[in-house]
Amino acid sequence: MELKVPEIGEDLFEAKIVEWFVKEGDMVDKDQDLVELVTDKASFVVPSPIKGRLSRIYKGEGDVLGEDMLLAEIDPE
């Protein structure tokens, strides 16, 4: 399953990755916090939509992303 940058908000088009809380290969639970993003106005975390293994991280800390860009992939358990 693809993990993408969620809708950021009105008049905001970019978010920067502050920190990944997990590594590639880690098992994750549904709703577990995976990554922290920050915009000009707020900081927020992106939770896992499913339980499984984080198979691939596409973007790293410090990368700037737009809405709906691919962050990572999670293989269902």
**What is the pLDDT tens value at each position of the chain, 77 positions in all?**
999 988 876 766 789 999 999 999 999 999 999 999 998 888 999 999 999 999 999 999 999 998 889 999 999 98
| Residue-range domains of the chain with CATH | 2-76 (2.40.50.100)
Between CA 10 and CA 6 the distance in angstroms is 12
Q: Give the pLDDT confidence of 48-60 residue by residue, as tens digits.
A: 999 999 999 999 9
Number of Cβ atoms within 10 Å of the Cβ of 36:
17
Segment holding 2, helix H or strand E: strand 2-4
Give Dmax (Cα) for the chain.
Answer: 37
Amino acid 1 reads: M
Q: What single-letter DSSP state applies at residue 49? A: S
Token pair 């900081």 is found at 43
